[in-house]
Amino acid sequence: MQHNTQTPVPSAVDGIARAHGRDGADKRRTTPVIVPIRSLGPEHRERISRHLMALSPHDRYLRFGYAAADEHVRRYVDSLDFTRDEIFGIYNRRLELIAMAHLAFSIDPSLTSCAEFGVSVSEHVRGRGYGARLFERAVMHARNEGVQSLFIHALSENTAMLKIARNAGATVERDGSESEAFLRLPAATLDSRVNELVQQHLGLTDYHLKAQAHQFRGFLQGLQEVRQGVQGARQKSGR
Q: What is the pLDDT of residues 55-106, one digit of tens each?
A: 999 999 999 999 999 999 999 999 999 999 999 999 998 899 999 999 999 9
Q: What is the reported pLDDT for 58?
A: 95
Binned at pLDDT 50, 70 and 90, residue 232 comes out as: low
Q: Are 98 and 27 in contact (CB under 8 A)?
A: no
- This prediction's pTM: 0.75
Looking at residue 129, the DSSP 8-state letter turns out to be S
Q: What is the reported pLDDT for 23?
A: 44
Give the DSSP H or E segment for 202: helix 190-237
Nearest to 40 by CA among 12, 75, 81, 93: 81
Cβ neighbourhood burial of 48 (10 Å; 0-12, 13-18, 19+): buried
Q: What is the reported pLDDT for 183?
A: 94
pLDDT digit string (tens) for 163-176?
999 999 999 999 88
The contacts of residue 144 (CB under 8 Å, 6+ apart) are: 188, 192, 193, 196
Binned at pLDDT 50, 70 and 90, residue 7 comes out as: very low
